[in-house]
C-alpha cells in the first residue's frame, strides 16, 4: 500500500486498495495512484498506512493551524486498530469519533504498525471565553 499527498492536500493511494468485491472486503491492486474521493476539496495534512489500514488527518477548517485536524481511518480492523469502536473492516474513510471536531484533543502525529495504530495528541488551546471561566 502506498499513499501520497500532493501540494493541494489531495490524498491518493495505489497498490493494496481496500474495496468490496461480491460483498467481501478485500485489497485490490492498482498500479495507478487513485485519489481518495471522500476527501475531495479537503486538505489532507498527514497520512500513515500499513499493508492493510490507513489513518489520515484532515483539516476541518480553513486556518490550517493544526488545532482543527480530524482523524479518519479505514481498511482491515480485525483487532479494532481503526479506533472506531468495532472490529468491522471499512472500505471507506470514517471519522474516529474520539478525535472529531468536538474533541478537546488534537492529533499532531500518527503511525501504523502490524496490529495497532498510534496517535500523538495534545489538549487543544482553550478559547478566550473558556480561559475566562
Q: What's residue 27's pLDDT?
A: 65
Neighbouring residues of 111: CB distance < 8 A, sequence distance ≥ 6: 48, 117, 118
Q: What's residue 26's pLDDT?
A: 61
Question: Which three three-digit cell numbers place residue 31?
Answer: 498500479
Mean pLDDT, 10 residues at a time, the chain of 133 residues: 82 74 67 82 89 86 66 88 91 88 87 86 68 45
Q: What's residue 33's pLDDT?
A: 82
Q: Report d(CA 44, CA 21) in Å as an integer.
A: 27
The pTM is what? 0.79
Delimit the domains of the chain by residue range.
Answer: 2-132
Q: What's residue 46's pLDDT?
A: 92
Q: What's residue 129's pLDDT?
A: 44
Amino acid at each position: 500500500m502506498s499513499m501520497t499527498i500532493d501540494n493541494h492536500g489531495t490524498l491518493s493511494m495505489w497498490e493494496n486498495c481496500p474495496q468490496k468485491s461480491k460483498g467481501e472486503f478485500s485489497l485490490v491492486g492498482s498500479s495507478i495512484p487513485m485519489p481518495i474521493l471522500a476527501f475531495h476539496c479537503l486538505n489532507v495534512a498527514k497520512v500513515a498506512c500499513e499493508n492493510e489500514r490507513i489513518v489520515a488527518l484532515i483539516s476541518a477548517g480553513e486556518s490550517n493551524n493544526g488545532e482543527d485536524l480530524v482523524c479518519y481511518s479505514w481498511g482491515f480492523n480485525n483487532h479494532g486498530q481503526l479506533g472506531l469502536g468495532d472490529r468491522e473492516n471499512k472500505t471507506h474513510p470514517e471519522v474516529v469519533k474520539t478525535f472529531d471536531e468536538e474533541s478537546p484533543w488534537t492529533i499532531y502525529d500518527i503511525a501504523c504498525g502490524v496490529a495497532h495504530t498510534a496517535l500523538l495528541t495534545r489538549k487543544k488551546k482553550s478559547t478566550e471565553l473558556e480561559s475566562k471561566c
